[in-house]
A and B are shown apart, each in its own frame.
Chain A
Amino acid sequence: DSGVTQTPKHLITATGQRVTLRCSPRSGDLSVYWYQQSLDQGLQFLIQYYNGEERAKGNILERFSAQQFPDLHSELNLSSLELGDSALYFCASSVGQGGSYEQYFGPGTRLTVT
């Protein structure tokens, strides 16, 4: 158990809908990262927040957004969902905002868009 929690574990929704994925980092970690894992794209970095502020952006679509709240939990919002958005979404956390800080991954949310 990494100490990172993600909810829900599974999510099934229809195209065009909007969903919110939630992540609680390990106690004491200030950074939260979001990753998408799909069969054709592998593991891709989406976005990072550190202590409530956006720190880095990766291959995140404009239809996706995220935020980190004062209690440090984070939410990833996915809107206008398409079939291709079906994937595993992982959240990771680390103590620092960069450098060689170990990232601890949560168990993931499996999103299925039908």
Chain B
Amino acid sequence: GENVEQHPSTLSVQEGDSAVIKCTYSDSASNYFPWYKQELGKGPQLIIDIRSNVGEKKDQRIAVTLNKTAKHFSLHITETQPEDSAVYFCAPRRGAGNMLTFGGGTRLMVKP
């Protein structure tokens, strides 16, 4: 099965700084790369995703970059705000697969 690792496990930044979370995966057949945000007491929510035919995707302050050769993709958050504080999960998968294999999560804390 897919082996997924996220780094770092915790990240503390000052408000306004940038944050980068990296996800490495083992299945070279993976072609869908989503990032989820989980706030306290809530279920994970998809915030951005990218498919294997694209190297980068941006949505306002968040972006995802993909390096299929090295089998990793990263979440970039710029101009961080306190409401960005949450746990972030990556969950790469095959297009034809059903299972989501989540990374271990990264707890992001944005200090005002």
Contacts and interface: CB of A to CB of B under 8 A. Distances in A.
Interface of A: 2, 4, 33, 35, 42-45, 48, 55-56, 58, 90, 92, 97-100, 102-108
Contacts, number: 59
B43 A107 contact: yes
A44 B99 CA distance: 9
* B interface, over-half SS: loop
A107 B95 CA distance: 26
B96 A45 contact: no
B92 to A, nearest CB: 11
B105 A107 contact: no
A2 B43 contact: yes
Interface residues of B, number: 25
A104 B49 CA distance: 13
Interface of B: 31-32, 34, 36, 41-46, 49, 51, 89, 93, 95-105
Which residue of A90, A98, A100, A105 has the most chain B CB atoms within 10 A of its CB atom?
A: A100
Contacts of B95: 98-100
Given A43-B105, A102-B49, A108 B43 contact: yes
